Amino acid sequence: MKCPECNNELNKTEVEIEDAQTPALSYQCSNCDYYNFEPESTIKVINELKKKESPLKIKQKIIKLSQDRLGMYFNQDIVKSLNLRSGEEIFVSVPDNKKIVLEIG
Ligand SMILES: [Zn+2]
């Protein structure tokens, strides 16, 4: 691949990106300061980072425990990702009327 600016041969370099396993490929010109990322590898890295950022969101039903007490199960994905154990204490807070925040003590 040639530099679009000066027609010099471009150097292909792998660029490690924090939090991404796939390195992005970049093309650098040793003659001028032309520098570009290979679009395909850039997209891969962006997708990989997006996946990591998206929080675990699972739809679950509130179940009736006893009398007017309600409860919820933690499914395996949640248990595994947070390493929850039975008997563990958590703090429950309600920041607004659409959210319940559970904080592991
Ligand atoms: Zn160049």
pLDDT (tens digit, 9 = 90+) per residue, 24-65?
999 999 999 999 988 888 888 888 888 877 777 788 899 999
Q: Which residues lie at CB < 5 A from ion ligand 1?
A: 3, 5-6, 8, 29, 31-32, 34
For residue 97, the CA-to-ligand 1 centroid distance in Å is 58
CB atoms under 10 Å from CB of 10, counted, come to 19
- Band (pLDDT 50/70/90 cuts) for residue 20 is confident
For residue 9, the CA-to-ligand 1 centroid distance in Å is 8
The ranges assigned to domains in the chain are 10-53, 63-104
pLDDT value of residue 8: 94
Element (H, E) at 80: helix 76-82
Percent of the chain exceeding pLDDT 70 equals 99
**pLDDT tens figures, 54-102:** 777 788 899 999 988 999 888 888 888 888 999 999 999 999 999 888 8
The pair phi, psi for residue 44, each rounded to 5°, is -60, -45
pLDDT at 4 over 90: yes
